[in-house]
Structure 1
Amino acid sequence: MPKINLSRNHSLEPAVIKERIATLGAKLQEKYQAKTSWADDRTLNVKGTGVEGKLIISESKVDVNLDLGFMLTPLKGKIEETLNKELEKLTAAS
């Protein structure tokens, strides 16, 4: 099963980064029909047809760890590229 493991540093307040991660979760739901749910204040679980994983918020970084199923394997590069762009936007201080 192909994996996507990304990490981005941030300097945002916990409430701000959590809100931004929630927005990314909504995009994942819309685009990939993946269900998202908060396991705790810092971990967003992602589960859907062909994708499962977590987005983990720490004091200074965000980690994305996803396992892709067979059907999404050909799209791994595109998914990874899109997630990289989204992470860059959401971790930017503004």
Structure 2
Amino acid sequence: MPSIDIRHAHSLSPDQARQAVEEVAGKLSERFGVACEWCGDRVDFNTSGVQGRIALEPGQVHVTAQLGLLMSAFKGPIETEIRRVLAERFV
């Protein structure tokens, strides 16, 4: 299965970073019907064809995802959109 592994540095406080992840998870849920669940300092998400997590680490956010067969065809656009959102939310 194709995978996505993106690390993005940021200078947000832990509370600000958590709030930014909350906003991103809310958008995922709203736009794509993704089920999101907090587990410590990470959000696990799952929908048909995609399973992954957004983890808060010191000074960075780490996004990983496994793409199913159908979603693998969209790996490039998905990665581009993730990087755009991270750049927008995590300065």
TM-score bin (small chain): over 0.9
The whole-number CA distance in structure 2 between the counterparts of 1:67 and 1:73 is 9
> Structure 1 stretch 30-39 or stretch 49-58: which is displaced more?
30-39
The whole-number CA distance in structure 1 between the counterparts of 2:33 and 2:74 is 15
Q: Deviations over 1:34-93 (max 9, x none)?
A: 1101011x110011111101110012100000001112111111111000000011111x
**Counterpart AA for 1:30:** E
Contact 1:56 1:62 in 2 (8 A): yes
2:25 paired residue number: 25
Displacement of 1:27 after TM fit? Answer: 1.7
The whole-number CA distance in structure 1 between the counterparts of 2:30 and 2:80 is 17
Structure 1 stretches of 4+ with a deviation exceeding 4 A read none
Residue correspondences, number: 91
1:43 paired residue number: 42
**Counterpart AA for 2:25:** G
Q: TM-score, normalised to structure 1's length?
A: 0.91
Within 5 Å, which residues of 2 pair with 1:1-94? Answer: 1-40=1-40, 42-92=41-91
Long gaps (5+) in structure 1: none
The whole-number CA distance in structure 2 between the counterparts of 1:70 and 1:88 is 28
% identical aligned pairs: 25
Long gaps (5+) in structure 2: none
Q: TM-score, normalised to structure 2's length?
A: 0.94
